[in-house]
Structure 1
Amino acid sequence: MIVRFLGQVDYQSTVAAMRAFTAARDADTCDELWLCEHPPTFTQGLSGKPEHLLSPGDIPVVASDRGGQVSYHGPGQVTAYPLVDLRRINIFVKEYVARLELAIVETLSSFGVDGIRVSGAPGVYVHSNVSRDPKIAAGSRKLEEELQRVAKIAALGIKVSRHCTYHGLSLNVAMDLRPFEHINPCGYVGLRTTSLQEVGVATDWSTVAERLADRLLSQLVVSSRSDATPAPA
């Protein structure tokens, strides 16, 4: 797998590059992992409902072909895009999602933070003692109760085309969390978001990106090499 650290890049042009890469790849194409951050952007996934976009203000809203509902990208957030042929590592989508979440949990653990996975609500969470609106839209009472006790620190949204993945995940490091108040994150009313900075971890984007890349590599490949060159245009 080739790892590319892209810095801050435009969301739409990055998605276009991922689509082009995925459309052009064949059985011999190396998998890649792109890590970046985006300017402030709300993204509306394929399942996105307008009512979950509360008051976007001046932040652009972009329709995305990833799974899931509305989310937010901004500076201080590590966004990781694994471009992986699932046939090569012989797993299905459910296992792929589980491995992405495990890589995030392992990254958080390296900073002394306990990451939590909630069945039925993809992503990774941390325990929260902050009380909030109990009217969280969810599929079951058990899930509602789980989401009231946690804050979301990492989100997932993937796309699979011809067994090859693009889009991916985002992990909040040290960012302005206020834009999350203008949406129902991932379609859950009242769901709180947090960051490594907010839970008391003093670190920087590059350190988190490198640790997350290492954990993703351990979950998705046997061998790899790093490359700082730009992604395909």
Structure 2
Amino acid sequence: MQNATQLLNDTLISKSLSAADYVPTLDAMLSRTLARIDLKKQQGLRTPDELWIVDHNDVYTLGQAGKEEHILQRTNTPIIKTDRGGQVTWHGHGQLVVYWLFDLDSLKWSVRNLVSHAEQAIEDIINDCLHSASLPNTANISAHARRDAPGVYLYADASAADNDANTDTNNLSFDSTIMLGKMASLGFKIKHGFSYHGIAINLNCDLSAFNAINPCGYAGMQMLRLSDFVTMQKEPAAQTMQPISESLSYETITQKLIDNIAKRHAGLIELRAITPK
């Protein structure tokens, strides 16, 4: 497991982990959170918040209240019981996982604020990618969160199917849309005002791993990946002559997301009104 740390601003750092096994990562994340809680309680210190960008080895994780019945088939992939919210999901290569180790009280964020910032950051990045590098026949597709089911989903605007005009994805009417499936999941744990765990976005992963579970506890939920809707480099480090507007990589999408989250953390991006769906 390799890791690299980057200072994003005075109160936020990012840490990258590659080929990371789940249990050691969870143990390290919990240990860091408990240490930060202790420093704040005992010495009144505000430590920098952390974004952990993780490339996980294949694993199924079951949330704290997760039900075994949502595991439909046992495979060679380990199943780990964890302390986050939510049901069962899969993590693995080609999926972008970001853990948010934030001091919510210092940020003056509620848990709802945290969830909304996470969902809206994902919406921003997916919609930006769809706009800049979408494949033919995907111009009317956009990403949105739902009130009734945490995560971010892709919707097709049926009313605009025959139009070439751009769709304003922030003001999309859900009356004329069709939900295609889910592209990103989220689940957090809050301990003494500190968050950990986070979000997972399917970029160019093998979606067949989701066939063995009811993703996030929803039977029949169609899972999606971004590479089926935009032009992505097949290998993360591959060299390409295509301009970035035509070809996206795992790294460029990751950096877009980190930049967006950092701006939200600094108060430079405010929350939008929450979608009615």
Q: Say yes or no: TM over 0.5.
A: yes
Partner residue, 1:205: 250
| 1:68 correspondence with 2:86 | yes
Equivalent pair of 2:55/2:94 in contact (CA under 8 Å) = yes
Partner residue, 1:20: 31
Measure the CA separation in 2 of the matches of 1:17 and 1:37: 15
AA partner of residue 185 (structure 2): A
Q: Please provide the CA RMSD for this pair.
A: 2.1
Q: How many Å apart are 1:47 and its aligned residue? A: 2.1
Partner residue, 1:220: 265
Number of equivalent positions: 208
Q: Which residue of 156, 159, 170 maps to 2:189?
A: 159
Equivalent pair of 2:129/2:230 in contact (CA under 8 Å) = no
TM-score where L is the length of structure 2: 0.71
**5+ residue gaps, structure 1:** 130-147, 224-233
Equivalent pair of 1:100/1:219 in contact (CA under 8 Å) = no
TM-score where L is the length of structure 1: 0.84
Moved more, 201-210 or 34-43: 201-210
Partner residue, 1:80: 98
Secondary structure of residue in 1 paired with 2:226: coil
Q: How many Å apart are 1:56 and its aligned residue? A: 3.0
Describe the superposition over 1:69-103 as per-residue Cα deviations: whole angstroms up to 9, x where unpaired: 00000100010011100011101101110000000
Equivalent pair of 1:128/1:151 in contact (CA under 8 Å) = no
Equivalent pair of 2:130/2:229 in contact (CA under 8 Å) = no
Which protein, 1 or 2, shows the higher relative CO under an 8 Å CA cutoff with sep ≥ 6? 1
Between Structure 1 and Structure 2, whose CA radius of gyration is higher?
2
Measure the CA separation in 2 of the matches of 1:189 and 1:177: 15
AA partner of residue 266 (structure 2): V
Structure 1 stretches of at least 4 aligned residues deviating more than 6 Å after TM superposition = none
Secondary structure of residue in 1 paired with 2:152: strand
Identity of aligned residues (%): 35
Secondary structure of residue in 2 paired with 1:201: coil
